[in-house]
Chain A
Amino acid sequence: MATYNLNINGQSLSVDVDPSTPILWVLRDHLGLVGTKFGCGIAQCGACTIHIEGSATRSCQIPVSSIGNNKITTIEGLSEKGDHPVQQAWLEHDVPQCGYCQAGQIMTAAALLNSNPSPTDEDIEATMSGNICRCGTYTRIKAAIKTAANSGSLS
């Protein structure tokens, strides 16, 4: 066990866990941030996607010991009021079915739009193909990403 001071959603949080513990389980089991989901544990589904220094990362693959001072953003901290342009677009298109994959989809989409504010269909497909939606909401995810891109409110 070791103590780690983590910078998560702009807050400094401390946990005492085994160094090999993936940040996914630190968030879920130790910090009560359960918006980040467990789907596969092997970097195949994207349900656990968070931002580390702004890039979309599979949290099931990152041991807590490797985080250091890097800033982590989870779905809970993507926006203060749940009104990030991607979240708004998701509501506008009523994307979710079961909803389980959607936090990961939103985090991947938000990072995509950060680095590429006007993605083409191909860009969206290439980036979003790492996130499985078992309910098959891909059609709406694509539409919502385009709406967010065109909303003019991406910072």
Chain B
Amino acid sequence: MTLVRTTFGRRAFIKRVGLAGGGLVIGFSWLAACKDATPEEVVMMPDEWFEINGFLKIGDNGMVTIMSPNPEIGQNVKTSMPMIVAEELDADWEKVFVEQAPLNTDLYTRQLAGGSQSIRQGWESLRMAGATAKHMLKQAAANSWQVPMAEITTAAGVISHEASGNSAHYGEMASAAAQLEVPEEVEMKENKDFSIIGTSRKNVDGKKIVTGKPLFGLDTYREGMLVAMLVHPPAFGMRFKSMDAASVKSMPGISDVFTFDTYTEGTRMSFADIATFNTKVAIVGESTWQVMQAKKALNVEWEEAPDEAYDIDLFGRILTTEYPSGKENSDSHSLGMAETATRKGNVVRKDGNVDAAFKKAAKVLERSYSCPFLAHNTLEPMNFYANVTEDHAELIGPIQTPEFMEKSVAARLGLTLEQVDIQMTRMGGGFGRRLYGHFLTEAAVISQTVKRPVKLVYTREDDMTFGNYRPAYYVTYKAALDENNEMTAFLVRAGGIPESPLFANRFPAGAVENYQAEEFTIKSNVSVGAWRAPRSNFIAGAEQSFLDELAEMAGKDPIDFRLELFDKAINNPVGENNDYEAERYAGVLKLVREKSGWNSQQNGKHRGVAAYYCHNSYVAQVLDIAMVNGQPRVDKVYSAVDCGIVVNPDAATNMIEGGVVDGIGHAMYSAITFKDGAPQASNFDKYRLIRHGEAPRGQEVHFVKNDIDPTGLGEPPLPPVMGALANALYKANGKRYYHQPFMSNKPLLG
């Protein structure tokens, strides 16, 4: 065991215990949670709850409620974060309830879902919360039994003292424990003693999901609530001019039609407030269908928008978001990127001298890759419930960034932070879209205007035609081989609209003597944002396809070719700041080589391989394609993953399987294109998402076993699979795929 000072979140623990006074506290959102409790759960309810700290409370019957601080978007943190608390608490997992914590910046750190960081950043404080509570329970038992605390042991929710034969379940000591001082130091377990972490536990909301219980923001219904919908400009580069509101105000069930500004001067604060279309029309009425009819009937006149720019705070750095005027087209986007990439970009990293090396090269390969804008398309469209009164705002819904939105929405409404109460619902997908909480603010402003509780609902069309999209990207690679087929130079020139996907210090930086990384950007008024594995979601596939073609030119096996480069990076690294650990990178490649039987003949299977590092984790994949009726069909995908300690292996496997399907789907089929600023797809009839029959027939996921603290999982499996797919397609039909989506009839870019 390791002794750790209880500094992390200590303030939170002390505060709660102080608050608890006599030690008895009824869970603050317990009654709300009870509503959806399954019959089994109701039977297990205790009569009283004792709050030990902000993360957990213990019932008189030994049941434990663990708060899950972070937003749940399908990454399963609502199960895995409480597992970490339960581990250090030595709880009986069968007796654990999990409750979604509300936004509370005093109690919890980083209540954010994004960047695959929830577990990584919560690791310490979650363990501390469990360990502290266990310590206090043991102390309470030691006091009551008059025995030394050091002789007391705990297991599965039971406290025992062997010598005296005393034993009690946690519920029996909870009241006394809740009144104790928070210890100065607590013991944390050694990894080898974990009994919950590293074992597969089912999704705590599983039963509710399969029986259709209300869990999602869109399922929020309250007495007296109205439904609100928006009308936003039909094209980027347009804005509101005028409307004929009177004609729809008289439609059945419609109570209000008006325009409003989402953000006013000074109320746009952080990156979470990035959004275009500031002035929008709100339609408010009794039922969803009635408001939908009014939305269809409303006549709005739009006009061209002028140049627009605003500053936001991006984790302490001021970022200017610019939307130049004009109505843009995908054709010119493509040409613009391809043309810009012919010229030298802004040099971000330079090792050796690539130009000289290219002159001396035996062979040179140069290739360009591109991808289109993508919509997030969470299956649950954007929505939020708001009940704003003169001195209070109750906001309920799916949001990845509640901490950030609390500040800006309070400013927008003219309320204090204390007057704003944000509650997080389970999210029907996030993928980055719900980092941008304008829909929360929209709902709040509408409620404040109509002085009624409202639920704002986006139609699929609203959702798909209103950014913040994955940017369009383009990259040109150029590499040199000498007469021994060793790579002597590598040039990457990456750009995009409006941002570049370049990671200058990632592989193969560090593994090649002469290396240069350049970038360029092109301005646009198409609003963009983070989309699952930002930037990596394109550049990984492009890079891994290029390396595949390069390995072929070198006459080497694609895995051997990469491993040689990693050897170089391990033994003889070039330059500083190489942003990866070559051993772990090579480790996943070796693991996938073994598990996929890479070196054995595969009949009728065409295989591609790729590996990538992002969000602090390493993933290598082998993808098999079979030709079915002359069409390529992904047959099987093998993933090897190094993400440190795996908290919940089966759930982690699910996440990786999903990332694989997501990556294949978007690389193969998906795009959002523009004509005169208007998105050319607004629903799933035109926007193609991968379907059941196009998903891999089978998947295998293998984890590297190590003792490294957990790293990202939500994003890392997606980027490399796009490369493995392109490389397997080449083996299947002899064609290299450079431009996504691979299965479009006409290349969208380049």
Return chain A residues, CB-CB under 8 Å to B650: 94
**Is B212 a contact partner of A139 (Cβ separation < 8 A)?**
no
**Is A40 a contact partner of B428 (Cβ separation < 8 A)?**
no
Q: B476-519 interface mask toward A, CB cutoff 8 Å, 1 = contact, 0 = none?
A: 00000000000000000000000000000000000000000000
Return chain A residues, CB-CB under 8 Å to B657: 136-137, 139-140
**Is B74 a contact partner of A29 (Cβ separation < 8 A)?**
no
One of B169-177, B374-382, B568-576, B596-604 contacting the partner: B374-382
- A44 is an interface residue with CB less than 8 A from chain B: yes
Given contacts A40-B684, A99-B215, A137-B657, contact A82 B207 (CB under 8 A): yes
Return chain A residues, CB-CB under 8 Å to B61: none
Given contacts A97-B658, A98-B73, contact A47 B211 (CB under 8 A): no
**Is B219 a contact partner of A136 (Cβ separation < 8 A)?**
no
**Is B697 a contact partner of A103 (Cβ separation < 8 A)?**
no
The listed residue (A36, A42, A131, A134) touching B212 by CB distance below 8 A is A36
Residues of B153-210 whose CB lies within 8 A of A: 200, 202-203, 205-207, 209-210
**Is B287 a contact partner of A76 (Cβ separation < 8 A)?**
no
Return chain B residues, CB-CB under 8 Å to A130: 691
Q: For residue A143, which residue of chain B has the nearest CB?
A: B698
Return chain B residues, CB-CB under 8 Å to A106: 210
Return chain B residues, CB-CB under 8 Å to A30: 287
Separation of A132 and B688 alpha carbons in the complex (Å): 10
Given contacts A18-B290, A40-B683, A138-B692, contact A34 B214 (CB under 8 A): yes
- A2 is an interface residue with CB less than 8 A from chain B: no
- A121 is an interface residue with CB less than 8 A from chain B: yes
- A35 is an interface residue with CB less than 8 A from chain B: yes
How many chain A residues sit at the interface, stated as a range, is 35 or more
- B264 is an interface residue with CB less than 8 A from chain A: no
- B696 is an interface residue with CB less than 8 A from chain A: yes
Given contacts A137-B658, A141-B692, contact A103 B212 (CB under 8 A): yes
The listed residue (A22, A32, A134) touching B379 by CB distance below 8 A is A134
Separation of A130 and B694 alpha carbons in the complex (Å): 12
**Is A25 a contact partner of B289 (Cβ separation < 8 A)?**
yes
Interface residues of A: mostly helix, strand, loop or mixed?
loop
Separation of A45 and B694 alpha carbons in the complex (Å): 15
The listed residue (B426, B665, B694) touching A99 by CB distance below 8 A is B426
Separation of A33 and B216 alpha carbons in the complex (Å): 13
Given contacts A101-B379, A136-B658, A136-B662, contact A94 B428 (CB under 8 A): no
The listed residue (B287, B289, B661) touching A139 by CB distance below 8 A is B661
Q: For residue A29, which residue of chain B has the nearest CB?
A: B287
**Is A25 a contact partner of B74 (Cβ separation < 8 A)?**
no
Separation of A75 and B654 alpha carbons in the complex (Å): 23
Separation of A126 and B216 alpha carbons in the complex (Å): 29
Separation of A142 and B213 alpha carbons in the complex (Å): 23
Given contacts A18-B252, A40-B684, contact A134 B221 (CB under 8 A): no
**Is A29 a contact partner of B661 (Cβ separation < 8 A)?**
no
Residue numbers of B with Cβ under 8 A of A are 38, 73-76, 200, 202-203, 205-207, 209-216, 218-219, 221, 227, 252, 287-290, 293, 377-381, 426-431, 459-460, 650-651, 654-655, 657-662, 665, 683-685, 689-699
A-B contact pairs, 13 of them (CB 8 A): A29-B289, A35-B213, A40-B460, A40-B684, A96-B210, A99-B216, A99-B426, A106-B210, A129-B694, A132-B689, A136-B657, A136-B665, A139-B657
A-B contacts besides A41-B460, A76-B212, A97-B75, 16 pairs, CB < 8 Å = A18-B252, A25-B289, A29-B227, A34-B212, A34-B218, A34-B221, A47-B379, A75-B210, A82-B210, A90-B210, A96-B203, A96-B205, A132-B689, A136-B659, A140-B654, A140-B657
